[in-house]
Structure 1
Amino acid sequence: MTSPTTPAPTSDQDRAPAAEGLRKVLGLPAAVMFGLAYMMPLASFTTYGVVNTMTEGHVVTSYWITLVAMLFTAASYAAMAGAYSATGGAYTYTRRTLGGHVGFLGGWTILLDYVLLPMMAYLVIGVYLHESFPAVPQGVWIAGSIALVTVLNMVGITMLSKVSSAIVLAQTVFLVLFALLAVRTARGQEIPSLWDALAGRGPGTATALAGAAILCYSFLGFDSVASLAEETRNARRTIPRAILLVTLLGGLLFIAVSLVSSLAFPHWQNYTSVDAASLDVVRAVGGKLFESFFTAAFVAGCFGAVLAQQATVSRVLFSMGRDGVLPRRVFGYLHPVWRTPVYATLVVSAIGLVSLFVDLTLASSLINFGALTAFSLVNIATVKHYVIDGKRRGAGPILRYLVAPVIGLALSVWLWTSLSEQAFVIGLCWLGAGLVYLVAMTRGFRVAPPDLDMTEA
């Protein structure tokens, strides 16, 4: 057992066989593919119209702001992943560094994101497939997707990794074709200068930040990679590299897609629907047939994303259950053959059924509240672990473990203040419910929360 303030051991335990725990089968390419599938390469189309209208045609500017902010925070995640090779992500890092109480509240807050993201993906799948096949009720598509994703998550991470990689490759084919058609379309009409599209001149700081705050959820893929530490070979080396690669590659991909979309269809005032502006863009570059191709690729992307999302939240619940923070018999249970947290997976699937009764508006307003809260906590944990507890000194460590995390924290808080009032109200209510549960579990803070077991068993 290691205290929350003691740096993690540097033994080879993260390379040891996991006969009694999660199986170590993933390498760097698989971990990166998993993170990109979670982020969904086509995710930029989801909020493209909303942010482009908000920023008066400068969605790319907001993506640049978001990418810079996320790179600083991703660096903190990578640093903490190198210290603690255990599943759980932000929950693990804050719990082991800042203590059980703060760690629990951090994990509780990010659960809001993890639980709602699969629900949103299921809803999008149902909406798009129902539009393509009106004879089949939307609920049937949602229920069928939940069943298939649940089975794939239960049988093991190897199968999940292969499916996620195939879906990412399929989306990549679509994006390459889209980029070629968009460039061809842009050549035939008057377009804004490339510099204006990249950097922007129109939006003010507040407008660009508001757009960036909406786009933050697109970058949650790097956090999902951190949750795979106990299923990754040489995790202390592989996971940090995968986190940074996923953040950089995903952000550049979002910027590229938004850029060619803006060049091909620069008339943001003429969208048929702000929420469905991507259909106007796709139709402009490739016609109705290409629009059908987009719908198929987008649904496949949502399916790949929800595979990764459900795997991530089930492992966060498994980590909390293994600690005894949540009921261990349910959430801390691993299937004896598949070595996967099957009960936690079933719980997440049951929550996904709520997508039969809600819309995207409420769920999407809450995602960034938990994400930015978790990002802030991880930046703080990095400073405490390396600078305060680890006594790291010198120019290099100070830049990496103090300056960069403080900048990441400032940028996260800056974006956090740009969220909607509704997100604050409901997010704070969720946080309050977690605090009540923590008080009850610790008998008014008189009893410490269960210690985090640092071994895979």
Structure 2
Amino acid sequence: MLDQGAPPRTPRTEPVPAGLGTRLMRRKPVERLVAEGGQGEGGSLRRSLGLWQLTMISIGATLGTGIFVVLGEAVPKAGPAVTLSFVIAGLTALFSALSYAELAGTIPVAGSSYSYAYATMGEFVAWICGWCLVLEYGVSVAAVAVGWGEYLNELLDGTIGVTIPAALSAPPGDGGIFNLPALIVVLLAMAFLLGGARESARANTIMVCVKIAALLLFCAIGIKGFQSGNYEHFMPLGMAGVSAAGATLFFSYIGFDAASTAGEEAKNAQRDLPRAIMLSLIIVTALYVLVAAVAVGAKPWKQFSDSEAALAGIMKDVTGQTFWATLLAAGAVIAIASVVLTVLYGQTRVLFAMSRDGLVPKVFSKVHPKTGTPRANTVIVSLFCGVLAAAIPLGQLADATSIGTLFAFALVNIAVIVLRRTRPDMKRTFRVPLSPVLPILGFAFCVWMMGSLSTITWIVFGVWMAAGLVFYFCYGMRRSRLNDADARVDAPAVAEK
């Protein structure tokens, strides 16, 4: 029986841990993402990059991988229609680039699509996206580094008449034991990044200018060997071949989103990031199609092989001299080094953002107070990518990168639609035209191109994602910084009578 003389008790609520579903779907508000921008463990990133540097970062990360490295693999799949494959891959990238441009201007932080997913679709989807980015950036650094070694040998052979032995210039499975040049170029990129973002951007700008000059030189020389008969059977392997080549060549467009990883080091991120993304994609696509058209016109498509130094070989065939091929190889050595530099930069910034959120160890978000760079992060990532480059064949790396990229891009297109519906009044410096039609098309193209990849690529991707899920549930979910008051829910109030 209740004590009638006792004072009434105040109803109270008890905070209880959120359920699994709530924890997986918890979002990080845009305002909180922006407020935390630049802050790391023990220091902060420095805002030192303008529109020009941001555009050069995206071009540096993009231009070179498809033309200098993967063209020799794509032409046998599509024939002369490889130019159409470049257009299809570029169109797929364009739809996603529009979505990236809107989100980069709205959520100007490091982390790229990982951060965008965190603000729109929740922590679990963000983790999946971030894990895909780790695959995209990390593996592409290794893949491009392998191609760099091919052109270095071409340059050494044309200048001093020596080459690095196959045992030390190719990974296991490709006739080698350890790819030393690939490891060296990654370590050189690491040295630049440790000097600071501004210094790295300055070096990258110089290398990008050399890269563009080398490709224009190829077009000027290669056009002399152009034969219209090489285009008589434009699509000998049908649309399936064009699609398969396009999926492989999409690897060459992955760098356009590199500028979005610099959101916390841009002087005026909301204005400059969308512009840099779109400018870089337009310039790169135009050069890709031009160079591919000249290459196929100068050499019958059946004579292309999977040699990474395809353009240098065409220069030698057209001129009958080794000088021009050697000059192109010199440009390619510098050009591909810039890809390694900028993509490695993007990888470190994605991990920086994930670490700041607690999903990966804190060491990745420690910033050196003098240089304003995540030093430990840069060293760890560089060593990992360098060893990967020295041990894995290029073809498998390129396709693994493509599937991770396509998956991340698909999520970005969804994120634009979600943010438009949940935060329609938010300030946007760039808006995707015809939304949601273009984001839906971007998503559909990504899914379609993923379906064109080989079964082994899907198996590798599945194993990678399984490993990521194990890491998230064992580490990331428990250490997430959202495991505080905003990750709890109140129990229903129960009045004691």
Q: Taking structure 2 as the reference length, what is the TM-score of the superposition? A: 0.81
The residue that corresponds to 1:204 in the other structure is 238
Q: Is the 8 A contact 1:14 1:236 kept in 2?
A: no
1:2-48: CA deviation from partner (whole Å, max 9, x where unpaired): x83755489999899xx952111111111111111111346313222
Letter in 2 for 1:4: R
Q: Is the 8 A contact 2:189 2:341 kept in 1?
A: yes
Cα distance in structure 1, aligned partners of 2:307 and 2:378 = 35
Quickly say closer, same or farther: Cα 1:371–1:398, change in 2 above 3 A. closer
Percent identity for Structure 1 against Structure 2: 26
Quickly say closer, same or farther: Cα 1:8–1:240, change in 2 above 3 A. farther
Q: Which runs of 5+ in 2 are unaligned?
A: 1-25, 157-161, 170-178, 485-497
The residue that corresponds to 2:480 in the other structure is 449
Q: Which region of structure 1 is more displaced relative to structure 2, 338-347 or 49-58?
A: 49-58
Cα distance in structure 1, aligned partners of 2:419 and 2:369 = 35
Cα distance in structure 2, aligned partners of 1:289 and 1:218 = 27
**SS of equivalent to 2:264:** helix
Quickly say closer, same or farther: Cα 1:236–1:10, change in 2 above 3 A. farther
Cα distance in structure 2, aligned partners of 1:54 and 1:275 = 15
The residue that corresponds to 2:492 in the other structure is none
Letter in 1 for 2:148: I
Measured after TM superposition, the shift of residue 284 of structure 1 is 2.7
**SS of equivalent to 1:220:** helix
Cα distance in structure 2, aligned partners of 1:135 and 1:346 = 26
| Match 2:122 to one of 93, 99, 109 | 99
User: Which protein has the larger Cα radius of gyration, Structure 1 or Structure 2?
Assistant: 2
The residue that corresponds to 2:50 in the other structure is 27
Cα distance in structure 2, aligned partners of 1:240 and 1:452 = 33
Root mean square deviation of aligned Cα: 2.9
The residue that corresponds to 1:401 in the other structure is 435
Q: Is the 8 A contact 1:168 1:304 kept in 2?
A: yes
Cα distance in structure 2, aligned partners of 1:366 and 1:450 = 31
The residue that corresponds to 2:379 in the other structure is 346
Letter in 1 for 2:481: P
The residue that corresponds to 2:102 in the other structure is 79
Quickly say closer, same or farther: Cα 1:378–1:408, change in 2 above 3 A. same
| Match 1:434 to one of 468, 477, 488 | 468
1:93-113: CA deviation from partner (whole Å, max 9, x where unpaired): 111111111101110112111
1:32-89: CA deviation from partner (whole Å, max 9, x where unpaired): 1111111134631322232222112211010111111111110000111111010010
Cα distance in structure 1, aligned partners of 2:483 and 2:213 = 43
**SS of equivalent to 1:25:** coil
The residue that corresponds to 2:144 in the other structure is 121
Q: Is the 8 A contact 2:49 2:267 kept in 1?
A: yes
The residue that corresponds to 1:50 in the other structure is 73
The residue that corresponds to 2:163 in the other structure is 134
Q: Is the 8 A contact 1:14 1:235 kept in 2?
A: no
Quickly say closer, same or farther: Cα 1:126–1:275, change in 2 above 3 A. closer
2:182 paired with 1:160:
no
| Match 2:257 to one of 219, 223, 233 | 223
Cα distance in structure 2, aligned partners of 1:173 and 1:383 = 39
Measured after TM superposition, the shift of residue 152 of structure 1 is 0.7
2:221 paired with 1:151:
no
2:456 paired with 1:416:
no
Quickly say closer, same or farther: Cα 1:14–1:430, change in 2 above 3 A. closer
Equivalent residues, number: 435
Q: Taking structure 1 as the reference length, what is the TM-score of the superposition? A: 0.87
**SS of equivalent to 2:435:** helix
1:281-311: CA deviation from partner (whole Å, max 9, x where unpaired): 2223333111111221111111111110111
**SS of equivalent to 1:57:** helix
2:133 paired with 1:110:
yes
Q: Is the 8 A contact 2:132 2:408 kept in 1?
A: yes
Cα distance in structure 1, aligned partners of 2:252 and 2:359 = 29
Letter in 1 for 2:424: G
| Match 1:271 to one of 283, 286, 304 | 304
Q: Is the 8 A contact 1:122 1:145 kept in 2?
A: yes
The residue that corresponds to 2:20 in the other structure is none
2:288 paired with 1:254:
yes
